[in-house]
């Protein structure tokens, strides 16, 4: 009987601790509408939610919500996620002296790993016939670039990738990409 009483007391105490810990939350900013990298963050895109105090979560405190509104997303912000620290910026994409170029690549022209905004990549020339190798700009590759975004192509057989490149090579790169002679190589993600 005494053992049963002790067991009930321990279970009650454990339940009480769980209830107290469940109440140990603090307000943070969450994303309610998907915001793509570079887009302006609006008040309707955010809300405040209460979360448990996990010190490993790098979030934005709820009292900082107003300071985020009007800035641009530094990375893609999916709806239903907590807003990570450093997710907002005042910088525009593309940056000064850089140009945004769209590529449509087949699976053989890029890694199987899903590309992420901010990835550092190199664009390299694929072999072609003699006539195509003498086109203007064919010697501009390889080019270092930054992935701004990627998505499945409309044909379901390719991937569309937006990359930020130096402005002086953008036109030549676009010509090479239009002929299908560009491949994308993912460099280290270690920062």
DSSP-assigned letters across all residues of the chain = -HHHHHHHHHHHHHHHHHHHHHT-EEEEEEESS-B-TTSBPPGGGEEEEEEE--TT--B-BGGGHHHHTTSEESS-B-TTSBPBTT-EES--SSPTTEEEEEEEE-GGGS-SSPP-TT-EEEEEEPP--HHHHTSTTTTS-SEEEEEEEEEE-TTSSSEEEEEEEEHHHHHHHHHHHHTT-EEEEE-----
d(CA 161, CA 102): 6
**Residue 126 pLDDT class (50, 70, 90 cuts):** confident
Q: What is the per-residue pLDDT for 20? A: 47
Domains and CATH numbers, the chain: 26-89 (3.90.1210.10), 98-186 (no CATH)
- 2-16, 47-61, 99-113, 140-154 — which one is most confidently predicted on average? 99-113
The closest of 103, 95, 97, 94 to 168, measured between CA atoms, is 97
Q: What is the mean pLDDT of residues 15-42?
A: 77
**Residue 81 pLDDT class (50, 70, 90 cuts):** very high
CB 181 within 8 A of CB 125: yes
CB 57 within 8 A of CB 82: yes
In terms of DSSP bridges, do strands 159-166 and 182-186 run parallel, antiparallel, or are they unpaired? unpaired
Torsions phi, psi of 73, nearest 5? -70, 125
The structure tokens listed for 30 are 């969450």
Chain length of the chain = 191
pTM for the whole structure? 0.55
Q: Which residues pair with 159 in a beta bridge?
A: 105, 152
Residue 3 has pLDDT above 60, yes or no: no
Q: What is the mean pLDDT of residues 144-158?
A: 88
Q: What is the largest CA-CA distance in the chain?
A: 94
d(CA 149, CA 75): 9
């Amino acid at each position: 009987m005494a053992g049963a009483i002790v067991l009930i007391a321990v279970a009650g105490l454990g339940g009480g601790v769980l209830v107290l810990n469940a109440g140990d939350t603090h307000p943070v900013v969450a994303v309610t509408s998907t915001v793509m990298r570079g887009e302006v963050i609006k008040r309707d895109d955010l809300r405040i939610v209460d979360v448990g105090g996990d010190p490993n979560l790098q979030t934005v405190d709820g009292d900082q919500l107003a300071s985020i509104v009007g800035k641009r997303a530094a990375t893609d912000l999916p709806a239903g996620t907590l807003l990570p620290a450093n997710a907002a910026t005042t910088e525009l994409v593309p940056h000064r002296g850089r140009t945004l170029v769209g590529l449509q690549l087949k699976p053989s022209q890029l890694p199987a790993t899903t590309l992420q905004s901010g990835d550092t990549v190199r664009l390299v020339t694929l072999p072609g016939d003699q006539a195509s190798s003498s086109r203007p700009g064919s010697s501009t590759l390889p080019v270092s670039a930054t992935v701004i975004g990627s998505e499945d192509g409309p044909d379901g057989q390719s991937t569309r990738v937006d990359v930020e490149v130096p402005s002086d090579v953008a036109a030549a790169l676009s010509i090479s990409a239009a002929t299908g002679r560009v491949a994308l190589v993912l460099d280290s993600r270690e920062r």
